[in-house]
Structure 1
Amino acid sequence: MERDDLGAMVSRVGRRLLAMEQPILARHGVSMWAYIVLNALASGPMRTQAALAASIGADKTRLIPVLDDLQQRGLIEREPDPADRRVRLLGLTDIGHARHGAVQAEIRAAEDVMLRDLPADDREAFLRTLAALDR
């Protein structure tokens, strides 16, 4: 059976996911890049802005305004690293954790709707495969 190339299929699914996520992000007052930052910091602080930029595949100069906005809104903090005061640790505030959790819960619920027609075994295999390819 003929199929489209992976890039074409992933691109179409990606566009559907972005279209699904945009209204959720807008309701929470978070841009896509801001959500990516919140997601990256949800598991714990990062040691530098450069490390954060590298981990999410963002240009450091593009990331700085996003970080400034998130900090001004009280969602992240930049604290001096006790081991090296020249370095700033980036982490979520309590408000940032709450906002991330609320956005993620809505996104996951929308993803469940998108995947609901797949049999449970296929859905689990799809998610495992995506996780493996994402490494």
Structure 2
Amino acid sequence: MKAEEPVLRAHEVEMWDYVVLTALREGPAPTQSELAVSAGRDKTRLIPILDRLEARGLLRRTPDPADRRNRVVALTADGRELVESCRAGIREVEAELLAGLDGHERRTFVIVLDRLADTARDR
């Protein structure tokens, strides 16, 4: 989103980098393929993003002990710190954007957004 771009630029992160980091925030991805699905990105387009983030020390890929063909992808401490800092900055921007809405309007807006996100996820 355009409003988030200055926050991400300040952290030298592209939007898809942030999407991947956020997808890993809850825990490691069992495989790169599963990460691609959760991030909504084709696996072939995900590899350069993972390469870039790994080179920056923001994530690590290790062989899966159960299946050496797969690689487990996880955030490093630096990656976790970066994604939390980006999230905080984005929350500030969102608060500024929503400042003109009263409490009822904000709750309604969030409900509608959640419903749209659920619909998009189910497609």
TM-score (norm 1): 0.82
2:92 is the alignment partner of 1:109: yes
Code of the aligned partner of 2:42: D
Q: Distance in 2 between matches of 1:87 and 1:61?
A: 15
Secondary structure of the 1:112 match is helix
Secondary structure of the 2:90 match is helix
Residue identity (%): 47
Q: Counterpart in 2 of 1:71? A: 54
Q: After TM superposition, give the deviation of residue 68 of structure 1 in Å.
A: 0.1
Q: CA RMSD in A?
A: 1.1
Higher Cα Rg, which structure = 1
Secondary structure of the 1:134 match is helix
Q: After TM superposition, give the deviation of residue 129 of structure 1 in Å.
A: 2.2
Q: Distance in 2 between matches of 1:127 and 1:26?
A: 26
Q: After TM superposition, give the deviation of residue 133 of structure 1 in Å.
A: 2.2
Q: Distance in 2 between matches of 1:22 and 1:70?
A: 18
2:59 is the alignment partner of 1:82: no
TM-score (norm 2): 0.90
Divergent runs of 4+, >2 A: none
Could you list the runs of 5+ residues in structure 1 that have no partner in the other structure? 1-17
The answer to whether the Cα contact below 8 Å between 2:62 and 2:72 also exists between their aligned partners in 1 is yes
Secondary structure of the 2:12 match is coil
Q: Counterpart in 2 of 1:26? A: 9
Q: Counterpart in 2 of 1:58? A: 41
